Structure 1
Amino acid sequence: MIADIAYAEPVGRAHLLDLYVPAGTGLPLIIWTGGSAWLADNGKDSAGPIAEVFNPLGYAVAGVSIRSSTQATFPAQLDDIRAAIRFLRANAGTYGVDPDRIAVMGDSSGGWTTVMAALTDDAVRVAVAFYPPTDFRRMDEQMLPGACAAFNEMMGLTDCHDDPLSPESRLVGGPIQTSPVAEKASPLTYVGATSPPIMLLHGGQDPLVPHGQSVLLHEALTAAGATAAFYSVPAAGHSLTEVLDPSTQDGTTLRVFEAGRERVEHTPPTWAAIEAFIRRAFQH
C-alpha cells in the first residue's frame, strides 16, 4: 500500500488517499470512499477489505478521504471526490492504472459520494453504491416504523432526518426541507440517459438510510434509459457485511435495466457479481 498521498490542497487528512496496487500496469481502478454520515474525514480507512477482494482480480484500489460537513458544506464533498479522480487520472502512469477504466464505490454517505461522482464526472465508467441517501427530503417518510425514534436518540435529534442538525441538514448548511441546496445535493437531479452503469445494494431493514432511497434512484435511472442494477436484500440492515451475508439474502430481488429492457432475478449479491458488473461496464 502507498499511504497518505495528497491529492488536493490544502493538504490534510481530508485530502489524502491510499493506493493498493497489485503487480502490473494499466490496471482498472476502483475508488472507494467509506461513509460516516458526512461527519468524519476518514473515508479512505475502510478501503483495505475492498482491496483484499479486488487486488487479486487485477484491480488497483484507491481509498479516498473527503471533507466532513464540519469542515465544509456541499458541494465541497463532491469537489473533493472529483479532485481525487482528476489526480489519479493525471498520475495514472506513475501508479500503473488505466485512466479510462475508473469505477467508484462506497457505502452510506460514501455511497452518496459514489453516485454523485458517477452522475457528474464523465471519467467515471461505472459505480457501485451500498445503501446511499438519494433524496434527503423524502427520507423521513420512508423510515421504518420506530426507526426515527432510535435515530433521534442515536444522533441527539428531535426531528429525524428533517432536524436542522441531522447529517443531511449539516451537509447542505440548513434544514433540508427549506434549504435550496438540498435539491442540488440529490443524485436524482443529475440522472440522464448518458449516466454510467450504476449498481445499488440496499437492505430492507436499514434503520438509518431507508431502502426506498435506492428505489428512487433506480427508478430514475431506468426512466432515463440508463443501465442500472438494484439488489434489494429484505433482511439486511445498514451494513455492507449484512448485505453480502447469505443468511440475510432469502427473498433478495435483483432488478437489471439494460438496453431498454428490465429483467428480474432472485439471485443474491456477491463480490463476484459486483466484479462482473464492473467488468462488463469497462468492456462497453
Structure 2
Amino acid sequence: MTDFTPPTFLSPVADASRRYQGLTYALRPGYRPRLLDLTVPEADGPVPLVVWIHGGAWLEGDRRYTPPTIPAELLFGSLLEAGLAVATIDYRHSQEARFPAQHHDVVAAIRYLRTFAGELGLDAARFGVMGESAGGHLAALAALAGPELAGVEGVGEGDHSVQAVVDWYGVADMITVQEHPLEMPPGWPDPYESLFRGDDELAGQASPINHITADAPPFLLVHGTVDQVVPYSQSVAFDKALREQGVDVTLSTIEDANHIFLGVADVQPIVAESVAFLARHLTGRP
C-alpha cells in the first residue's frame, strides 16, 4: 500500500477558496495515476464535500469537463456558493481495465478524501456524490455497494459511505439497459462489451438497483423523458426500487429532454434543484 500524502494547496485565488490540483489518490504499476482536483470554499471550520464523477460511457471524459450543456462555472460555482467543497475525479476507462476498476477508483477517491479530510478542511461526516451518465451510475453504485465490491485501491481501506446522491440520467440496471443498443461513432467499442467483456455476472454486480438496502442515503434522480442513450425507464425503475426499500428518493422528470439535457432551453433550474438537494442533506440548511 502506498503512503499517500496530500501536497500543499495552490496559491489562494480571488474568491478565497483553496484549490488543490492533481492530487494522486491511487497508483498502480502500468496505469496512469488516478488524479482529483479539489476546491474548498472559505469557511470557519470543516465543510461538506461533493464528489463530481464525469460521464463518457465509461470510455472517455476526465475530471476537468462537464457536459457541453452544463457550464462548469454554473455547476461548480453553485456548489461552492452553497458552502460545499467540490472534488472532481478521474477513473480508469473501460479499455484500460474492465469493471469493477471504475468503481474501485471512485471508492478509492472517497476514502482518500476522508482519510485526509482534516488536512484538506473537509467534514468527513458529510460527503455527497454527484455524477452524470456513466458518472451517475458510478455515483449510485458507490453509495449502495458494500465492502465486498470496494477493492483496495489507493489508501486501501476505510469508510467510503456518502450521505447524499445526485444521479443525472445514470444506468441503474446493466442487464436491461443492454436491450437498447447504442449507435456509437465509427471506431468506438460497444460501451457495455468494453466494460464487462461479455460477463453477465459482472453486469449484475455493476447494477446499482441490485445493491439497495434500507439504510441507503437520500437520492435525487434527474432524467429526461426522451433520453436516447440511457432510457428514462432506468430512473423510473430505480426510483420504484428505492422507494420499496424505504429510501428517501426524488425523481425529477425533465420533459422532452434528451441525454445530457439536450433540448432544455435553460439548465439553471436543474442545477439549482441538484445543488439545493445536496446542500439540504449535507449542511442541514433548507
Q: TM-score, normalised by structure 2?
A: 0.78
* Residue aligned with 2:228, SS: coil
Q: Aligned partners of 2:238 and 2:215: how far apart in 1?
A: 15
Q: Aligned partners of 1:169 and 1:242: how far apart in 2?
A: 29
Q: Give the superposition deviation at 1:40.
A: 2.3
| Equivalent residue, structure 2, for 1:97 | 122
Q: Residue 188 in 1 paired to residue 209 in 2?
A: yes
| Equivalent residue, structure 2, for 1:42 | 62
Structure 1's 60 and 134: CA in aligned 2 closer, same or farther, altered over 3 A? same
Q: Give the superposition deviation at 1:241.
A: 6.5
* Residue aligned with 1:270, SS: helix
Q: Residue 277 in 1 paired to residue 284 in 2?
A: no
Q: Residue 211 in 1 paired to residue 235 in 2?
A: no
| Equivalent residue, structure 1, for 2:185 | 154
* Residue aligned with 2:51, SS: strand
Conservation of the 8 A alpha-carbon contact between 1:135 and 1:188: yes
| Equivalent residue, structure 1, for 2:170 | 132
Q: TM-score, normalised by structure 1?
A: 0.79
C-alpha distance after superposition, 1:158-198 (max 9, x if no partner):
xxxxxxx5212211222xxx622111110011011111101
Conservation of the 8 A alpha-carbon contact between 1:40 and 1:67: no
Aligned length: 246
RMSD between aligned alpha carbons? 2.5
Conservation of the 8 A alpha-carbon contact between 1:136 and 1:186: yes
| Equivalent residue, structure 2, for 1:166 | 190
Structure 1's 244 and 88: CA in aligned 2 closer, same or farther, altered over 3 A? farther
Conservation of the 8 A alpha-carbon contact between 1:14 and 1:65: no
Alignment of structure 1 residues 215-230 onto 2, 5 Å: 215-230=236-251
Conservation of the 8 A alpha-carbon contact between 2:224 and 2:261: no
Q: Aligned partners of 1:53 and 1:13: how far apart in 2?
A: 31
The structure with the greater share of residues assigned to helix is: 1
Q: Aligned partners of 2:187 and 2:108: how far apart in 1?
A: 33
* Residue aligned with 2:59, SS: coil
Q: Residue 61 in 1 paired to residue 86 in 2?
A: yes
* Residue aligned with 2:87, SS: strand
Structure 1's 242 and 56: CA in aligned 2 closer, same or farther, altered over 3 A? farther
Structure 1's 97 and 154: CA in aligned 2 closer, same or farther, altered over 3 A? same
Residue identity (%) = 35
Q: Aligned partners of 1:59 and 1:18: how far apart in 2?
A: 14
* Residue aligned with 1:136, SS: coil
* Residue aligned with 2:256, SS: coil
Structure 1's 101 and 112: CA in aligned 2 closer, same or farther, altered over 3 A? same
Q: Give the superposition deviation at 1:242.
A: 5.1
C-alpha distance after superposition, 1:99-151 (max 9, x if no partner):
1110100100000011001112662000001000111221254x5xxxx5xx3
Moved more, 268-277 or 206-215: 268-277
Q: Aligned partners of 2:186 and 2:245: how far apart in 1?
A: 36
Conservation of the 8 A alpha-carbon contact between 1:30 and 1:61: yes
- Within the candidate set 199, 205, 214, 2:220 is matched to 199
Alignment of structure 1 residues 25-40 onto 2, 5 Å: 25-40=45-60
Give the gaps of 5 or more residues in structure 2.
1-18, 147-159
Q: Aligned partners of 2:270 and 2:183: how far apart in 1?
A: 33
Structure 1's 240 and 208: CA in aligned 2 closer, same or farther, altered over 3 A? same
